[in-house]
């Protein structure tokens, strides 16, 4: 071990602790904080953020990186750690402090304006803020730099190593297969199963979620499952992964699938090698890869015929009156019920990715200077009609529905669909490697899948970028085809369709 490496590890340990504290503060804000604590908490979060930024961009870190880059005695893990930290260091130091401040301020105001503009369906109220956000994001992208195009720099913040054109190609393939499939499935659809709207006591839903997350492998001595309006998962420290879900009395599947989704994220976080905890390699390969883990447990496992029927048997023990007469077929159909819906977060598995693709296309147009912020509402409505065949009645249920753009998260949306694409491709590979997974799901047995994910994905941390990791595991470049095949298989099973 070189002296420079030891010094760098000391700094990384400190950064890990600061990230953990910031995570805990964020978790507390969403789960426990009284509502009047908001203003002081915002300042506290900004203070911690400032300290983290200063520690990361300390010129001494740059010196250590320079020294280690010239050292050819480093092993693979050290070399990759230096490479990952270099990326982050460069990104953080290339953007001028003034621009960082402006971005924070502008997105804070824009977010505030969004919380009022959305319920009032008032795009004009947020337009000047959004214009400013997009201008600053362009400046940020230019400061960071890119090889291909501007949007690459933004995408890289969430999906390192992936280019806009690569995503575009994958999404085109997805849309081409998906749009006719949606038409066919919706034509063949049966009426909505009645159990989907009922009255399901929250206490019992919670008991089920707590049981379910442990049952599929979440180590509850190394994490917690709590409640928050928007479910999320966050790492506070080694052996401390916080996930949240939400309960709605009239919607049983919503809590079950939020819990399965977040457990997928949490299992990934619990699966990184302990010895890498403080190193950049001991983390996720990309947000898309993280999302692939959540989607796999939510969809490929949770919405499979076999696992759904296993869950129904368990649920009937808690909801005998409510679910007593529901058949496995009906339950399977219900938790996969497809609809053309206006709101992304309520969309089903079949139509969800069309919501993402249209957002990606709009972002790309903005950052390719082919679209003005002022024209977003109309462009949104046109895309909605083109992809989903419906037109929003107002901007509140249209262009204003998500907080991402006001929050300055341009480049984030595509990771949702990349995750879905990865999840289908990886599950298909796991099933081919292992065989007979679905049969085991019927008995509630999922440990062989988890072991496969631990070996092939979780234990690899960020040694490779997501696309390279997926390519290595799959033996070929990831594509949308396995996802399309999977959806076709599922809906031909449910509605006896021949595609």
Where b means 16+ CB within 10 Å and e means fewer, 243-263 reads bbbbbeeebbbbbbbbbbbbb
Question: Can you tell me the distance from the alpha carbon of 164 to that of 149, in angstroms, rounded to the nearest whole number?
Answer: 8
CB of 269 or CB of 363, closer to Co ion: 269
Q: Is 2 helix (H, G, I), strand (E, B) or coil?
A: coil
Smallest separation, CB 287 to Co ion (Å): 9
Answer yes or no: are the C-beta atoms of 29 and 46 closer than 8 Å: no
Q: Which is nearer to Co ion, 418 or 473 (CB)?
A: 418
Q: Which listed range, 16-24, 283-291, 296-304, 361-369, lies at the site for Co ion (CB under 5 A)?
A: 283-291
> Looking at beta carbons only, is 229 or 324 nearer to Co ion?
229
Residue 186: which residues within 8 A CB-CB, separation 6 or more? 338, 339, 340
3-state secondary structure of 147: coil
Evaluate the CA torsion angle 295, 234, 280, 165 in order and state its sign.
positive
| Complex with Co ion: residue 291 or 402, whichever CB lies closer | 291
Distances (CA, A) of 39 to 51, 219, 404, 482: 19, 34, 21, 47
For the bound state, the minimum distance from the C-beta of residue 213 to Co ion, rounded and expressed in Å, comes to: 15
The radius of gyration computed from the CA coordinates of the chain, to the nearest angstrom, equals 23
Q: Which stretch binds Co ion (CB under 5 A): 74-82, 108-116, 289-297, 365-373?
A: 289-297
Please state the closest distance from residue 329 (CB atom) to Co ion, in A: 29
Size of residue set near Co ion by CB under 5 A:
2
- Tell me the three state secondary structure of residue 358: helix
Angular region, 8: left φ>0, alpha ψ -120 to 50, beta rest: alpha
The CB-of-202 to Co ion minimum distance in angstroms stands at 22
- Nearest approach in angstroms of CB 296 to Co ion is 11
Please, which residue, 272 or 331, has the CB nearer to Co ion?
A: 272
**Which member of 26, 135, 249, 262 is catalytic?**
262
Q: Which helix (H) or strand (E) holds 431?
A: helix 414-434
* Between 152 and 291, CB nearer to Co ion: 291
Residue nearest to Co ion (CB): 294
Answer for the pair 15, 52: CB distance below 8 angstroms, yes or no. yes
Which is nearer to Co ion, 159 or 333 (by Cβ)? 159
Of 19-27, 287-295, 382-390, 396-404, the window that binds Co ion (rule: CB under 5 A) is 287-295
DSSP assignment of 204-260? HHHHHHHHHHHHTT--GGGEEEEE-SS--EEEEETTEEEEEE--BTTBHHHHHHHHH
Which of helix, strand or coil describes residue 273? coil
CA atoms of 63 and 310, how far apart (whole Å) = 56
Q: Check: CB of residue 192 under 8 Å from CB of residue 337.
A: yes
Q: How far is the CB of 430 from Co ion (least distance, A)?
A: 19
Q: Which stretch binds Co ion (CB under 5 A): 191-199, 284-292, 375-383, 483-491?
A: 284-292
Kindly state the smallest distance separating residue 263's Cβ from Co ion, in Å. Answer: 11
| 162 versus 185: smaller Cβ distance to Co ion | 162
Q: Least separation, in Å, of the C-beta of 45 and Co ion? A: 21
Give the dihedral sign, CA 408/409/413/416. negative
Should residue 245 be labelled a site residue for Co ion when binding is judged by CB under 5 A?
no
Residue 262 annotated as catalytic:
yes
* Residues in region 290-309 near Co ion by CB under 5 A: 291, 294
Binding site for Co ion (CB under 5 A): 291, 294
* Active site amino acids: 262
């Amino acid at each position: 071990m070189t002296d420079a490496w030891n010094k760098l590890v000391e700094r990384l340990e400190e950064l890990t602790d600061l990230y953990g504290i910031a995570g805990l503060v964020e978790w507390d804000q969403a789960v426990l904080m009284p509502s009047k604590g908001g203003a002081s908490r915002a300042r506290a979060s900004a203070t911690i953020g400032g300290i983290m930024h200063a520690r990361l961009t300390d010129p001494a870190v740059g010196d250590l990186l320079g020294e280690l880059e010239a050292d050819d005695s480093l092993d693979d893990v050290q070399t990759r750690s230096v490479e990952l930290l270099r990326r982050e260091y460069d990104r953080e130091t290339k953007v001028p402090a003034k621009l960082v401040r402006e971005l924070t301020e502008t997105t804070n105001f824009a977010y505030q304006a969004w919380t009022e503009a959305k319920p009032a369906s008032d795009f004009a109220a947020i337009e000047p803020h959004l214009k400013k956000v997009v201008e600053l994001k362009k400046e940020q992208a230019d400061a960071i730099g890119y090889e291909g195009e501007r949007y690459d720099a933004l995408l890289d913040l969430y999906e390192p190593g992936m280019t806009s054109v690569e995503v575009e190609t994958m999404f085109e393939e997805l849309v081409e297969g998906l749009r006719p499939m949606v038409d066919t499935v919706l034509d063949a659809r049966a009426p909505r199963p009645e159990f989907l709207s009922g009255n399901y006591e929250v206490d019992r839903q919670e008991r089920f979620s707590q049981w379910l997350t442990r049952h599929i492998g979440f180590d509850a001595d190394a994490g917690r499952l709590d409640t928050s309006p928007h479910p999320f998962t966050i790492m506070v420290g080694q052996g401390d992964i916080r996930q949240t879900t939400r309960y709605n009395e009239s919607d049983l599947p919503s809590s079950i699938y939020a819990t399965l989704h977040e457990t997928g994220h949490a299992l990934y976080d619990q699966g990184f090698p302990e010895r890498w905890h403080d190193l950049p390699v001991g983390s996720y390969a990309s947000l898309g890869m993280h999302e692939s883990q959540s989607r796999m447990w939510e969809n490929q496992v949770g919405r499979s015929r076999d696992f759904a029927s296993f869950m129904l048997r368990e649920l009937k023990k808690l909801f005998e009156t409510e679910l007593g007469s529901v058949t496995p077929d009906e339950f399977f159909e219900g938790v996969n019920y497809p609809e053309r819906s206006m709101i992304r977060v309520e969309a089903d598995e079949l139509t969800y990715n069309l919501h993402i693709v249209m957002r990606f296309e709009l972002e790309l147009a903005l950052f390719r200077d082919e679209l003005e912020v002022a024209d977003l509402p109309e462009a949104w409505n046109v895309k909605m009609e083109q992809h989903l065949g419906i037109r929003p009645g107002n901007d509140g249920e249209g262009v204003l529905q998500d907080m991402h753009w006001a929050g300055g998260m341009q480049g984030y949306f595509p990771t949702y669909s990349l995750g879905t694409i990865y999840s289908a491709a990886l599950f298909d590979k796991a099933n081919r490697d292992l065989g007979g997974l679905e049969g085991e799901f019927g008995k509630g047995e999922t440990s062989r899948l988890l072991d496969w994910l631990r070996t092939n994905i979780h234990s690899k941390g960020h040694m490779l970028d997501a696309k390279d990791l997926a390519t290595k595991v799959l033996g070929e470049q990831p594509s949308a085809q396995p996802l399309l095949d999977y959806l076709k298989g599922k809906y031909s099973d449910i509605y006896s369709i021949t595609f």
